[in-house]
Each structure stands twice: as C-alpha cells, then as structure tokens.
Structure 1
Amino acid sequence: MSDAAFAPSASGTSGASGTSGLPGRASGGPAHSRVRAFLRLVVIEHSVFALPFAYVAAFAACFDMSRSVHWRDLALVTVAMVAARTFAMATNRIIDRAIDARNPRTAGRELVTGVVSVRTAVVGSIVALAVFLGSAAMLSWLCLALAPVAVAPLIVYSYAKRFTDFPHAVLAIAQAVAPVGAWIAITDTWSWPAVLLGLAVGTWIGGFDLIYSCQDAEVDRRIGVRSVPARFGIRAALAGSVVTHVVTFALFVWFGLVENFGVWWWAGLALTAAAFCYEHAIVSPTDLSRVNRAFLTANGFVGITLFAFALVDLIDRGLGA
C-alpha cells in the first residue's frame, strides 16, 4: 500500500521534486510555519502522481469482487498512499542531506538551507509512518502484517546509491509494491494481475529515474554517488530507459488482457505509448534541459490518463457505486 512514486531520483543528488524554500530557520517559527515548510520538503502536492495506479488496482479489485466500489477501503488506501510517500520523501531528504549540500542543483533544499530542521523532518516522517501503519491496521490484519514489506524498500532505496550502481532497481521495487498493496487492501487476498500492474509501475518509474539521474552524472562521479549514468554514461542510461519502458508497455498490455479490459483501456494505452515516445524524444545525451518537462508532463499524463481510461472502462463494463 505504500508508494514512493516521484520520490527523489535514484541518483543520490537527484530529486523529481526539484528544489524549493528560502534560507531561514524553521525551528524557531510557529508550528504552522514548520508544517508548511515540511510539506514543501516532501512536495505534498505531487502525491496526486503517486495515486493513479494504486487506484487502477483498487477499482479493478472492486470490479472483480462485487462490481461495486468499496469506498471506505478506497479512502484508507488513499491515506496510506499519501502517508507512505510522505515518509519516503522525508526519510530520503534526511538521509541524503549531506549529499544534497554538495550538489548545486539540490543545495537549496529545505534541510540543507535550514528552512526545515532535522528534528522537524524526523518528527514528520514518524507521524507519516504512524498514519500509514494505522491505515493498514484499519484495512485488515494482513495489510498490517505486510506493511513492513512495503516500508523496507523505501528505506533501503535511500542507501542503495551508496552500494550499487543500480539504485533505480530498488526504486522500481518500492513503486511495484503500491498496486499489489492496494489490491490486497480491497480483497484481502494475493493477486497475480496486481503483480503485473506493480511490475509495470515499477519499470515505468525506474525507467524514468534512469533519465532523471542523468542530470547529476558528473557530480555523482565526483562525490562518489553511484548510478547507471555515473557508472556507464548518459547514453547507456537513456538507452536502458527506452528498453525499460518497452517492458513497461508490454506489462500494461498483459495486465489489460488478464483483466479483460475493453476499448477504453486500449485507447488509454495508445495515448500512453504517445507519451512515452514524447518523453524519450525530448531528452538526448547532449540535451537534458527538458528532463523536468518529461517528468511533469509525460509522467503525470501517463498516470492520470491511464487511470481515467481504466475507470471509464470498468464503469462501462458494470462497475457501480
């Protein structure tokens, strides 16, 4: 049920959320100012990008079970997703603050400048983790029992760049958990279709992370942060991203076939294919200036659009309130 989608890039100095904040000290301000600064730290508004594929899994599970939406469970899935993403972002920022300070692109982050104190970030991450575990407990004992499985890759991911050239794979695992968890939250049972969707989401984000981390390849080499671009070069990373997204698309097709989706799903996949082509067309080894556009435009479009088409397809086939 957790999802770190659009958490910081696998490159130790990258972050899909970019930089924000003005110099200052959060520790001495009012509580509400610290809360606002913490929400900027975790880029809370980007939670909307973390939800679509958990919703695809949840609504598909509702359709398979009873053809009606389980609103209480869906609400708890939403809370769990946002809480888990918040925990992942805050934890990553805490662990990587020294690395971030050494990269000009990330040196303006709130923990580096002092806008958010380490204490505030730690408290915020603990609260987010507690909310996640509480939501899991309210869903079922199985969800609570499996919660550590969801949390573990979120923590390991922040350290992966220190011991492997493939931290993007750890990020992919963290992403893959979300659809599987959402399905279990609705049905209280394991689902192989949800695994297919989870693998699709994991390879989707992992493939994009290969692109995003290219921005920091030179800095990462200098300060000892490990990633595919830092180890093998930007051209190899971009080629790997293309291959990974071909696998992503194949998994989306497989999931649609297994779940017997209709014309709406396939129309959404056609738009997804166009978004993938656009994402890779605007980035090249010699021009990384539009990486953020690929993130905000292409990836945001893929998640929201495919969810919308999946929901319309399910409603068209009989999903009711």
Structure 2
Amino acid sequence: MGPGSAAGPNTLASKVADAPAGNWVDRYAPAGLRPFLRLSRADRPIGGWLLMWPCWWSAALVALHQGSAGQTLWHLALFLVGAFVMRGAGCTLNDLVDRDIDDKVERTRSRPIPSGQVSVPGAAAWLGLQSLIGLVVLLQFNRFAVLLGISSLAVVAVYPFMKRITSWPQAVLGLAFSWGALMGWAGTAAGLALPALALFAGSVMWVIAYDTIYACQDKEDDAIVGVRSTALLFGDKAQAAVGAFYAGAVVLIGLALATNGSGLLSYLGLAGFALHLAQQVLRLDHRDGALCLTLFRSNRDAGAILFAGLIADCLWRWL
C-alpha cells in the first residue's frame, strides 16, 4: 500500500514505523481507537514524559521553597494527566500541519494522516477533544497559572511552522516543552520567582539538545524536502553543540537550586542528571539514527534522576 492508501487498524500498514514493537496501543487498544492513539503518539509515550518532567521538577522546587507538602501530590497528578494529554494534542496539531511533508519522509509516512488511517476532519475533532481535557486540567489551578498556561498556546501554535522558516525549531520546541517549569511553580505560588525562571531556562537548553539528537535521524530526508533543524545546522559539530547545550542546562538548573536554597539531595539529583547527559554526549554519533533515537529516549531517565533528587530533598525536610 502507498502512503496515501487507506489502511485498516489491524494491518501491518497501520503500524507506525518508529513505534516500539509490541507497544500497548498495537496490542491492547480497541481497534477503532488505535489510529487516534497513534496520532497522539500514545504508542511512543516518551514525549509525554519529557513534557511532564519540567512540571514535576518545578512542583518539587516550589515545595522545597515553601517548606511544606501543600498540594504537591495533587499537582503532580494534574501535571501527569495534562502533560500526556497536551503532548497528544500537540502531536495531532503537528501532524495536521505537516501532512504535506510527512508523506515524503521515510520515518513519518506511516503516521495516521499520511497513511490514510485518520482523515483531516477526524484529526481536527480529536485535537479538539484532547484540548478540552487539557483545559479541564488547567482550570484546577489558580488564576495566574491558568493565564500562564493559556499564554503557552501561542508557542505551541507556531511551533509546527518553525521548521519551514528557521534552523532553530528546536528552540521553539524548548519554550513549549519547558513551560511546565513555570507552571509547576505558578500552580502553587500564584506567581514566578528566580528559581522558576532559571529552571525554565535550563530546561530549554535541555530540550534543544535532546531534540537535536532526535532530529539527526531525519537529516537526509529533511534536506530533500526543505525542512530545517539544528541537526542540519550543526552537521558534523552536532556532538559538541549537544554537549554545550547540556552543559548550559546543568549550570542553569544548578542556579535554580542555589537561588532556591535546595539541599544536598537536590544537588545529588543534579549530579546524576549531569552524568547521564555526559554519557549521552560521549556515545553520540549523529550518523547513527538508531543510536540517536535510543539516546533521545533515554532522557526520560535523565529527567527522573533529577526529580528523584528534588523529591527526596522534599521528603527529607518534611519528615
């Protein structure tokens, strides 16, 4: 079947090329729902984790600042749901905008829209449903956080178009995927402070680096279809560039900890985070697409290490 042909949900053609084999969507989800879950990347949940970690880091950071648990557990639950739902909405929007490009790129032509699994009106309706769920989650926070969350939609809306006009779409993605570093603090404090701003800046650096690694998979196809990225911009210097951005992330997050009066356990989490990023840089070969995907996905664990240090610091103080 060609990329534009209709593919039933149980055929091999309906599977997405870069989805892990045996993922839960292909194995357990109702057949009629699978194309929509694939459109949301539910078969590849790494993006939800990467969107969630800055939210959770920030929620833990503000809990340390205030010295009490407060609504931390409730906010962590909200950010968990919100991150995965809004990541799905963002992917749906991205695929709607990129449907004229995805059918020309080997890795993406099997996605639900170019492969014919989901129609454009169907994808638009799915986007609306996910956005509505995200709004319900957002409205659980204070007014400042609600307005801050709504303001992020401008960044989310323009991101899919950036690869057409700039070599730095990863920087715009960094703003979108790091917004949670502001939201976690705002959701509790109803305002912002230097630790949250430093955490946000560090997270942006982190996202630029790991998404550059991700973009290295598609350099040849992107060059052919005219899509721009930092992977193409850096070329053979990708390893050094990724290392520089990761280093910037560590320094800025360290600044967030220092201005927040964080304790030893937070710094141990940051040290583990830094070591994880360092081994990614040492292993990175921008010509090896499979390795790049593996390293990109490993940032789920890097984010978990940093959060573990922050929440352990919280528990040490509370208990």
Contact 2:205 2:245 in 1 (8 A): yes
The whole-number CA distance in structure 2 between the counterparts of 1:182 and 1:117 is 36
Equivalent residue runs for 1:147-166 within 5 Å: 147-166=149-168
The whole-number CA distance in structure 1 between the counterparts of 2:137 and 2:238 is 37
The whole-number CA distance in structure 1 between the counterparts of 2:286 and 2:133 is 42
Q: TM-score, normalised by structure 2?
A: 0.84
Residues 1:177 and 2:175 aligned together? no
Contact 2:166 2:229 in 1 (8 A): yes
The whole-number CA distance in structure 1 between the counterparts of 2:104 and 2:313 is 48
Q: What SS does the corresponding residue of 2:164 show, helix, strand or coil?
A: coil
Q: 1:147 to 1:52 in 2, by over 3 A?
A: closer
Which residue is 1:305 aligned to?
A: 305
The whole-number CA distance in structure 2 between the counterparts of 1:147 and 1:252 is 22
Letter in 2 for 1:204: W
Gaps of 5+ in 1: 1-16, 23-30
Contact 2:51 2:178 in 1 (8 A): no
Cα RMSD after superposing both structures: 2.3
Q: How far did residue 35 of structure 1 move? A: 2.8
Q: 1:190 to 1:18 in 2, by over 3 A?
A: farther
Q: 2:169 aligns with which of 167, 170, 175?
A: 167
Residues 1:192 and 2:191 aligned together? no
Q: How far did residue 68 of structure 1 move? A: 1.7
Which residue is 1:38 aligned to?
A: 36
The whole-number CA distance in structure 2 between the counterparts of 1:63 and 1:263 is 12
Structure number with greater CO (CA < 8 Å, separation at least 6) is: 1
Q: How far did residue 198 of structure 1 move? A: 1.2
Q: How far did residue 285 of structure 1 move? A: 4.1
Residues 1:227 and 2:220 aligned together? no
The whole-number CA distance in structure 2 between the counterparts of 1:196 and 1:18 is 37
Residues 1:252 and 2:253 aligned together? yes
Q: What SS does the corresponding residue of 2:302 show, helix, strand or coil?
A: helix
Which residue is 1:48 aligned to?
A: 49
Contact 1:180 1:191 in 2 (8 A): no
Q: 1:313 to 1:301 in 2, by over 3 A?
A: same
The whole-number CA distance in structure 2 between the counterparts of 1:49 and 1:111 is 24
Q: How far did residue 18 of structure 1 move? A: 6.2
Q: 1:292 to 1:20 in 2, by over 3 A?
A: closer
Contact 2:214 2:292 in 1 (8 A): yes
Gaps of 5+ in 2: 1-15, 22-28
Letter in 1 for 2:111: R
Q: How far did residue 289 of structure 1 move? A: 3.5
Letter in 2 for 1:160: M
What do the CA deviations read for 1:15-58 (whole angstroms, capped 9, x no partner)? xx963499xxxxxxxx9534332222222333234322211211
The whole-number CA distance in structure 2 between the counterparts of 1:241 and 1:309 is 24
Which residue is 1:102 aligned to?
A: 104
Q: What SS does the corresponding residue of 2:137 show, helix, strand or coil?
A: helix
Runs of 4+ that moved beyond 6 A: none
Which residue is 1:134 aligned to?
A: 136
Contact 2:85 2:130 in 1 (8 A): yes
The whole-number CA distance in structure 2 between the counterparts of 1:311 and 1:233 is 36
Which residue is 1:294 aligned to?
A: 295
Letter in 1 for 2:242: S
Q: 1:39 to 1:285 in 2, by over 3 A?
A: closer
Which residue is 1:264 aligned to?
A: 265
Contact 1:217 1:233 in 2 (8 A): no
State the percentage of identical aligned residues.
Answer: 25
Tell me which moved more, 75-84 or 221-230: 75-84
Letter in 1 for 2:37: L
